[in-house]
Protein backbone atom coordinates (compact mmCIF):
# COMPACT_ATOMS: atom_id res chain seq x y z
CA UNK A 1 0.00 0.00 0.00
CA UNK A 2 1.19 3.48 -0.68
CA UNK A 3 1.85 6.05 2.02
CA UNK A 4 -1.01 8.14 0.65
CA UNK A 5 -3.52 5.49 1.78
CA UNK A 6 -2.15 5.65 5.34
CA UNK A 7 -2.28 9.45 5.26
CA UNK A 8 -5.90 9.45 4.08
CA UNK A 9 -6.84 6.87 6.72
CA UNK A 10 -5.15 8.96 9.43
CA UNK A 11 -6.96 12.13 8.30
CA UNK A 12 -10.34 10.36 8.23
CA UNK A 13 -9.84 8.85 11.70
CA UNK A 14 -8.77 12.23 13.05
CA UNK A 15 -11.84 13.91 11.58
CA UNK A 16 -14.14 11.23 13.01
CA UNK A 17 -12.55 11.66 16.45
CA UNK A 18 -12.90 15.43 16.25
CA UNK A 19 -16.59 15.14 15.33
CA UNK A 20 -17.23 12.72 18.20
CA UNK A 21 -15.53 15.06 20.68
CA UNK A 22 -17.42 18.05 19.31
CA UNK A 23 -20.77 16.26 19.60
CA UNK A 24 -20.02 15.07 23.12
CA UNK A 25 -18.80 18.40 24.51
CA UNK A 26 -21.09 20.87 22.77
CA UNK A 27 -23.30 22.98 24.98
CA UNK A 28 -27.04 22.36 24.89
CA UNK A 29 -28.95 25.05 23.04
CA UNK A 30 -32.51 24.43 24.21
CA UNK A 31 -34.47 27.08 26.08
CA UNK A 32 -34.66 24.88 29.20
CA UNK A 33 -30.88 24.38 29.26
CA UNK A 34 -30.35 28.13 29.07
CA UNK A 35 -32.83 28.70 31.90
CA UNK A 36 -31.09 26.08 34.08
CA UNK A 37 -27.71 27.69 33.42
CA UNK A 38 -29.09 31.11 34.34
CA UNK A 39 -30.62 29.73 37.53
CA UNK A 40 -27.30 28.11 38.51
CA UNK A 41 -25.56 31.46 38.05
CA UNK A 42 -28.17 33.23 40.17
CA UNK A 43 -27.84 30.60 42.91
CA UNK A 44 -24.06 30.96 42.87
CA UNK A 45 -24.37 34.73 43.33
CA UNK A 46 -26.97 34.44 46.07
CA UNK A 47 -25.85 35.88 49.44
CA UNK A 48 -27.79 33.08 51.17
CA UNK A 49 -25.74 30.31 49.55
CA UNK A 50 -24.08 28.18 52.26
CA UNK A 51 -20.32 27.87 52.46
CA UNK A 52 -19.07 24.97 50.37
CA UNK A 53 -22.16 24.98 48.18
CA UNK A 54 -21.62 23.83 44.62
CA UNK A 55 -23.90 24.71 41.71
CA UNK A 56 -26.10 21.85 40.59
CA UNK A 57 -26.17 20.14 43.97
CA UNK A 58 -28.85 20.61 46.61
CA UNK A 59 -27.70 22.59 49.61
CA UNK A 60 -27.45 20.83 52.98
CA UNK A 61 -29.41 22.76 55.53
CA UNK A 62 -28.23 22.98 59.11
CA UNK A 63 -30.62 22.90 61.99
CA UNK A 64 -30.65 25.88 64.27
CA UNK A 65 -31.83 25.82 67.86
CA UNK A 66 -35.28 27.25 67.20
CA UNK A 67 -36.06 25.30 64.05
CA UNK A 68 -37.29 22.00 65.50
CA UNK A 69 -40.70 20.96 64.31
CA UNK A 70 -43.03 18.35 65.66
Percent of the chain at pLDDT exceeding 70 = 69
Burial 43-62 (b: 16+ CB within 10 A, else e): eeeeeeeeeeeeeeeeeeee
- Which tops the pLDDT comparison, 61 or 21? 21
- The whole-number average pLDDT for the span 27-40 is 86
Contacts of 41 (CB under 8 A, 6+ apart): 55
pTM of the predicted protein model: 0.44
Question: Cβ-count burial of 16 within 10 angstroms (0-12 exposed, 13-18 middle, 19+ buried)?
Answer: exposed
Res. 20 pLDDT band, cuts 50 70 90: very high
Tell me how far apart the alpha carbons of residues 46 and 38 are, in angstroms, rounded to a whole number: 12
Res. 37: pLDDT tops 80: yes
Amino acid sequence: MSPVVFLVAFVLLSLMGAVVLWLRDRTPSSMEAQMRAFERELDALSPDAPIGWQPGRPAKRRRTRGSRTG
